Structure 1
Amino acid sequence: MNDVHTCCRTQTHPNHRNGNKKIIAHIIKDKLEDGSRDLKPKDIQKDILSHYNTSISYKQAWRGKDFGLQTLRGTLTRIKTNDAGVFKILFIALGASLRTFRNHLRPLLIVDAAHLKGGYKGTNFQAVGMDGNNQIVPIAYGICRGETGDLWSWWMSVLKECVGDNPNMIIISERHPSIALSIRNEFPSAFHAICCRHLMMNLKLKNKKVKGLYWGICKAYTPDEWQRKMNILWSVQPEAYQKLMEADPTRWARAHSPRPRYNYCTSNSVESVNACTVRWRKLPVTLLTDTYREMVQKWYFERRKAAAKMKYEITDWAAHKVQKRIRKSVSWVVYGIDEFQYQVFDGLYNRLVNLRTDECDCRKWQLSGIPCGHVIAVSRFLGQTNCLKYVQDWFKKEKYQATYAESIQFVGNYKEWEYPNHIHPVTPPIMNNPQPGRPKNTDRILSQGEVPTRRHCSRCNEVGHTRLRCNKSFVPDPPVRKGKKKQEFAMDEQPYGQNSYPTNHYDQPFDHTQYASQSYYHNEYQSQQYDSKHYDQPFNHTQYASQSYYHNEYPSQQYDPNTNASQTYDQYHTQPSFNMSQPNETQTFHDHNTQGSNSWFNHFGF
């Protein structure tokens, strides 16, 4: 056996192993930008062989082209499988969202996960940012089997390729160990902050007052205010104080954060996206990803139209904040120190404003990017028409319009897509994740006389399955009109208290002869006989014209239930207090015009 090899490396390894997709994409970048040429993988192989005297495989050429197109368009899709080709995790980031985050948003990422529903189990990863109008901008999302350190690290590594490792980056999430590990490994220069909402759930606070105190501690701007409220918490609930100190205040308290959190203390933004996709999380993976794209497309379109109608130089949300602080700082007193430093008294504290370093002692200006009331008072003291020049750029109208200048394109029907030959379908995983807690005992022996319960579907009203496993299409019920429904009775089942005749129908004429002999038909009573002449005559008003109650208006006093019904109208006016034991002076009323009076019928619209 000859151990000395005389063959060149190009013969033993015809495909250059260092010709990865990133290098190939960088080489063919200019050719991909030329829209007049349809560059195919075989053309890429010939070009690299002729220019660099290096051969690459067809798969390398296709991957380089695909990565180069994703770099140009920005949309990035990655799927990770195991050695057997079974699906493990998916990463998708839209190109417009990535360019929006890199160019127009603050270096803030909010990360969290949600569980998939229905028959397709798994976990949905989310990463969102916030625009200048305090609206959510989805950056990336993914689907995997569960929250593990390996999957979170891989997903964060792909996210790092899209957004980069900004030294001013701040990432807010819950205290999940897998998320903390992935951020520490993939974003070493970023600051990992804790969601205050998830932290509060671990403290077991006593009541609403203690919870309000906790949020005051988290949102305090100055260390003095933070320490004062922490002392109150120590006297109220010492065990919560100890847990907060063990959680490192620099990671959850705004007053001690080494980097500005931009007034975001929780991961509720991701929870809001999860609430919007709660119905979609029951769909298969392909439909779930497409509905996610449709949601982002709709948001971009609506916000682009809203940005064109903004009437201020800053966003509506920032303008509302500034106007509120302008009204609050009207009476504040300003004392000048030099050209850039001013002392402002707000009624409680004296604050120092430095216009050269863009800082205020209250720390609201530098932590939020919106001028506080002290800066607005200084602007008014200097005679400036507005204070918009002290607002950070990401709150400006031009920046907000540029945020949603791009459009999310429609991908078309998936049945019309062209699939490369070397791409094989991914095998779905076996979702056998054990649920937390004690497992349910499904093979329990029934007791004597116990009847097994059968599953009932609330959609199709059939037995044997539940609503989640129902295969029939959902048909919504017709709308029901609100209000009481009239109860219908049969002719022989009239309700109690109604004078109805069961032998007659409503469509037949009423027979008077069968009731002619009865007394109530002739209105015969023992004390009075019926006289048709007396009741058929019209009412004579002249015979009552002399009586006082016919011409006099209603009294202006309110109704009193203790009034004696036998009192005459004259007695009613001479005794307005209705106390028969105390004599009152006689009063005379001549308010014939009831307009504007306090009479009871005017109150009811008569």
Structure 2
Amino acid sequence: MLSSSGVLCVKRFDSVHTCGAAVRTSRNPRAGSDLVSTVVADRERDKPLTRPTDVVFDLKNEYGLDISYRVAWLGVEKARGEVYGDHATSFDQLRWYSNSVMQKNPNSYINLEFDQKTGSFVRHFISFRACIDGLNHCRPMLFLDGTFLKGRFKGNLLAAAAKDANQGLFPVAFAIVDSENSANWEWFLRNLKEVVGGGRTLTFISDRHVGLLHSMPIIFPSAHHAYCLLHLQINLRDRMKYVNASYKIGLMRKLRECAYAPTVTCFNEKLEVLKKANPAVIEDFMKYLHPKHWSNAYFRGQRYREMCSNAAESFNNWVSEARHLPIMRLIDMIRGQIMEQMSERRVKCSKWAGVISPKMEKKLAAACNDSRAWCVSQANDDVYEVHSHPSMLVDVGKQTCSCFQRQINGFPCSHAVVAFRNSGRNIYGAIDSAFCIDTFRATYSGTIYPIPIVGRPLFNPAECLIAPPIGPNGREFHPMGR
């Protein structure tokens, strides 16, 4: 250091290191999990699904460090613990979180269960008030499904979702349970009943889990239970081993034609074709599969042409990153995603004009184009004959069509559109209010308020009431066999 100017001047440089640094390899303790945790902590905040294999590659590529998968895994786990909190202590923090939700979002519904003797977590159900209110403006139809959790203690996420007026996913309720079994589905449905109320006749669409088959008629006796067509097709495919793929696809297509058949007569014709293709397999497959749960011809509820439980599966994909987090952060991350979605759609619909939502307006325009060349004959003020191929009878007063698509879909078919056009009546008056823009706005009029983590009290082992779940061997789960 030059005293006159205060400038540091290097007069000699020795390139030989004496600080003890060495080449770091997987056998060198200097490249341990603490170092990995420090390096990947910022990355974990931006990308919760950071994989140990990516860390091994990146540390080698960027720093020339050779580390084992185990070291990378431990480092990622430590980083997640620093960023999101420890998996084990997160269960007890559900007490604070549940109280905070009820304070910030009054009249939400939460049910937290834990074993009073062992203190072990059992299950947790949550539905935010804004979701409960929004459901009243969605179609009376709920999609049910479950998915695996991928955090340290595993478990399953059960969810119920609806669709809004623009056919967008609308989460209603979800729960964390130890497994997707009959007892947990029954518990989920009993809690869900507290949320949805009994003012409307509901239609449920599910993958036909045995727990739902047993519990649905008991808990929702007046509801209609529709089976997911995609799962039925997969179940049929899996019954046929040692059969070539094209043959399986052909049978699945024939089953689909049966499901979409609009009348009983048409259904029976399609079913005969399906049975002739493979009598033994189809007879066994249909033994306990009543068509009232999967065929349009026999289904007595309103499913709005929703043949699959795609909304629930979309919800599972939507929360895929959250499934890796500690339970409290998992729930809060899902809350944050629902909160942001509701806010974004509330802003989006403020710019819409017209009567029905944009997606349904496009469907209506497509129906108008399809019917543009058809001629119409009038029988009386309400009844019209549409000369399509074949011709159809439309009653604009009763809002029915002999093609049955109007009744099945809950939305005007091409025949109904051209009949309304010739009658001089407003076609929008024949559209279910569930597809209207005003309904969409009402769906997202509520607000889910944030839960500031800054107010969370520090974990105190002496005050801990809820411990992690107990494993099948009667002991607490531990990662990597520790």
> Could you state the TM-score of these two structures normalised by the residue count of structure 2?
0.71
Q: CA deviation digits over 1:143-171, x for unaligned, max 9?
A: 01112332222221111111113451111
Aligned-pair CA distance for 1:306 = 1.9
Residue 236 to residue 208, structure 1, CA distance change in 2 (3 Å): same
| Superposition pairs of residues 410-425 of structure 1, within 5 angstroms | 410-413=450-453, 415-416=455-456, 425=465
Q: Which 5+ residue runs of structure 1 have no aligned equivalent?
A: 1-65, 435-467, 470-606
Aligned-pair CA distance for 1:72 = 8.2
Aligned-pair CA distance for 1:108 = 0.7
Higher relative contact order (CA 8 A, sep 6+): 2
| Superposition pairs of residues 308-387 of structure 1, within 5 angstroms | 308-348=350-390, 350-384=391-425, 387=427
Q: Which 5+ residue runs of structure 2 have no aligned equivalent?
A: 1-98, 241-246
Q: 1:290 aligns with which of 325, 329, 332?
A: 332
Q: CA deviation digits over 1:453-501, x for unaligned, max 9?
A: xxxxxxxxxxxxxxx96xxxxxxxxxxxxxxxxxxxxxxxxxxxxxxxx
* One-letter code aligned to 2:183: D
Q: Does residue 441 of structure 2 align to residue 401 of structure 1?
A: yes
Residue 211 to residue 330, structure 1, CA distance change in 2 (3 Å): same
- Paired-residue identity, %: 27
Aligned-pair CA distance for 1:432 = 2.7
Residue 244 to residue 330, structure 1, CA distance change in 2 (3 Å): farther
Aligned-pair CA distance for 1:364 = 1.6
Partners of 1:138 and 1:72 in 2: CA distance: 16
Aligned-pair CA distance for 1:426 = 1.1
* One-letter code aligned to 2:124: L
| Superposition pairs of residues 552-563 of structure 1, within 5 angstroms | none
Partners of 2:188 and 2:234 in 1: CA distance: 27
Partners of 1:351 and 1:294 in 2: CA distance: 49
Q: 2:302 aligns with which of 254, 260, 269?
A: 260
Partners of 2:221 and 2:103 in 1: CA distance: 26
Aligned-pair CA distance for 1:418 = 11
Aligned-pair CA distance for 1:417 = 6.0
Partners of 1:166 and 1:192 in 2: CA distance: 17
Partners of 2:152 and 2:131 in 1: CA distance: 30
Q: Does residue 218 of structure 2 align to residue 185 of structure 1?
A: yes
Q: CA deviation digits over 1:231-270, x for unaligned, max 9?
A: 2222323345322363000001122101111111111211
Partners of 1:109 and 1:418 in 2: CA distance: 39
Residue 182 to residue 424, structure 1, CA distance change in 2 (3 Å): farther
Partners of 2:248 and 2:212 in 1: CA distance: 31
Partners of 1:70 and 1:365 in 2: CA distance: 45
Whether contact under 8 Å (1:230, 1:241) holds in the other structure is no
Whether contact under 8 Å (1:223, 1:256) holds in the other structure is yes
Residue matched to 1:116? 149
Task: Please state whether the residue corresponding to 1:73 is helix, strand or coil.
Answer: coil
> Could you state the TM-score of these two structures normalised by the residue count of structure 1?
0.57
* One-letter code aligned to 1:361: S
Residue matched to 2:203? 170
Residue matched to 1:12? none
Residue 368 to residue 86, structure 1, CA distance change in 2 (3 Å): same
Partners of 1:181 and 1:426 in 2: CA distance: 31
RMSD: 2.8
Task: Please state whether the residue corresponding to 1:203 is helix, strand or coil.
Answer: helix
Partners of 2:473 and 2:435 in 1: CA distance: 45
Whether contact under 8 Å (1:90, 1:143) holds in the other structure is yes
Whether contact under 8 Å (2:293, 2:299) holds in the other structure is yes
Residue 326 to residue 286, structure 1, CA distance change in 2 (3 Å): same
Q: Does residue 184 of structure 2 align to residue 151 of structure 1?
A: yes
Residue 202 to residue 396, structure 1, CA distance change in 2 (3 Å): same
Partners of 1:186 and 1:324 in 2: CA distance: 40
Partners of 1:70 and 1:95 in 2: CA distance: 12
Partners of 1:74 and 1:368 in 2: CA distance: 34
Residue matched to 2:429? 389
| Superposition pairs of residues 191-210 of structure 1, within 5 angstroms | 191-204=224-237, 206-210=247-251
Aligned-pair CA distance for 1:283 = 1.1
Q: CA deviation digits over 1:38-78, x for unaligned, max 9?
A: xxxxxxxxxxxxxxxxxxxxxxxxxxxx8996898331111
Whether contact under 8 Å (1:166, 1:190) holds in the other structure is no
* One-letter code aligned to 1:254: N
Partners of 1:187 and 1:67 in 2: CA distance: 31
Partners of 2:145 and 2:454 in 1: CA distance: 29
Residue 295 to residue 186, structure 1, CA distance change in 2 (3 Å): same
* One-letter code aligned to 2:450: F
Residue 121 to residue 99, structure 1, CA distance change in 2 (3 Å): same
Q: CA deviation digits over 1:211-232, x for unaligned, max 9?
A: 3332222222222332232222
Task: Please state whether the residue corresponding to 1:134 is helix, strand or coil.
Answer: coil
Residue matched to 2:37? none
Whether contact under 8 Å (2:374, 2:387) holds in the other structure is yes
Partners of 1:320 and 1:237 in 2: CA distance: 40
Whether contact under 8 Å (2:260, 2:296) holds in the other structure is yes
Residue 80 to residue 414, structure 1, CA distance change in 2 (3 Å): farther
Residue 240 to residue 99, structure 1, CA distance change in 2 (3 Å): farther
Whether contact under 8 Å (2:105, 2:448) holds in the other structure is no
Residue 237 to residue 345, structure 1, CA distance change in 2 (3 Å): farther
Partners of 1:248 and 1:427 in 2: CA distance: 44
Aligned-pair CA distance for 1:90 = 0.4
Q: How many residues align?
A: 367
Task: Please state whether the residue corresponding to 2:236 is helix, strand or coil.
Answer: coil
Aligned-pair CA distance for 1:416 = 3.5
Q: 1:90 aligns with which of 124, 128, 133?
A: 124
Partners of 2:282 and 2:164 in 1: CA distance: 34
Partners of 1:166 and 1:424 in 2: CA distance: 41
Q: Does residue 286 of structure 2 align to residue 244 of structure 1?
A: yes
Residue 95 to residue 256, structure 1, CA distance change in 2 (3 Å): same
Partners of 1:199 and 1:234 in 2: CA distance: 16
Whether contact under 8 Å (2:236, 2:252) holds in the other structure is no
